[in-house]
């Protein structure tokens, strides 16, 4: 894999425009840093005039972008030592000093959590074709993930979206815009950015499909149908 694009290779991330874009040196600075973030406002002006579906879309894309940036900052190439590792300056500059980006990451996480919880009953009984140890581990990891999400309180209600006269139009626009994001990821020149972009876009796209393309009852695992299919074969 290449070292990354110019933005990925730029280690001089401190900016003069953002007074919060620096790494706190001690507990006192950290406390002040967190207070400054908490006092910053969330969202822009006129958000009440935007419909729910568009607000959700914008927050998801912002959360997706921020999550990709976090993974890039976590696996950063030090140009001086040649080693890979976390870059705190990168995180603070790109995400940590922007409260709305942090909040949108949590929002995107809540949507993913709801998707896993929704398809949990199906995946719980899904039989993975485990031909080696790694695939068996995948099955165990999926079961652990489902178990952990089942104990979480409701975080996102997809049923309140795409209601009303323009529901189908909004839903189609939502799909097309997200597909455009996926296509854009294919054109990213930086291999590192494209890798994290494609992985997370596929994951979020799968979650959205589970939430908006299937009813809860259709995701219940039907053992009888599986047995009939097996007998007919």
Whether 131 is in a domain gets the answer: yes
Q: Across the chain, what does the average pLDDT equal? A: 77
In tens, the pLDDT along 109-158 reads 999 999 998 888 888 887 777 676 666 788 888 888 888 888 877 778 88
Whether 225 is in a domain gets the answer: no
Whether 193 is in a domain gets the answer: yes
Residue among 149, 148, 55, 152 nearest 104 (CA): 55
Q: Is 187 a catalytic residue?
A: no
Q: Is 5 a catalytic residue?
A: no
Count of C-beta atoms within a 10 Å radius of residue 47: 11
Q: For the whole prediction, is pTM greater than 0.75?
A: no
Per-residue burial over 174-210, b if 16 or more Cβ lie within 10 Å, else e, is beeebeebeeebeeeebebbbbbbeebbeebbebbeb
Whether 230 is in a domain gets the answer: no
* 143 CB burial (10 A radius; 0-12, 13-18, 19+): middle
Q: What percent of the chain has pLDDT over 70?
A: 69
Name the active-site residue from 8, 73, 90, 193.
193
Whether 111 is in a domain gets the answer: yes
Whether 5 is in a domain gets the answer: no
Whether 232 is in a domain gets the answer: no
How many domains is the chain partitioned into structurally? 1
Domain residue limits at 103: 27-36+50-214
Name the active-site residue from 8, 73, 90, 190.
190
């Amino acid at each position: 894999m290449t070292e990354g694009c110019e933005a990925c290779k730029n280690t001089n991330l401190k900016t003069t425009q953002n007074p919060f874009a620096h790494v706190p040196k001690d507990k006192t600075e950290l406390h002040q840093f967190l207070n400054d973030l908490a006092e910053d406002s969330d969202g822009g002006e006129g958000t009440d005039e935007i419909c729910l579906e568009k607000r959700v879309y914008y927050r998801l894309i912002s959360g997706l972008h921020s999550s990709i940036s976090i993974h890039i900052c976590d696996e950063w190439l030090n140009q001086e030592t040649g080693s890979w590792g976390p870059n705190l300056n990168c995180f603070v500059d790109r995400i940590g000093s922007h409260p709305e980006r942090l909040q949108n990451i949590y929002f995107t996480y809540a949507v993913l959590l709801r998707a896993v919880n929704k398809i949990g009953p199906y995946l719980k009984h899904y039989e993975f074709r485990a031909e080696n140890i790694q695939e068996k581990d995948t099955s165990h990891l999926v079961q652990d993930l489902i178990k952990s999400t089942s104990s979480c309180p409701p975080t996102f209600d997809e049923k309140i979206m795409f209601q009303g006269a323009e529901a189908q139009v909004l839903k189609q626009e939502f799909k097309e815009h997200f597909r455009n994001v996926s296509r854009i990821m294919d054109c990213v020149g930086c291999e590192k950015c494209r890798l994290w972009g494609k992985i997370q876009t596929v994951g979020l796209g799968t979650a959205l499909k589970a939430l908006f393309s299937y009813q809860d009852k259709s995701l219940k695992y039907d053992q009888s149908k599986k047995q009939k299919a097996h007998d007919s074969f």
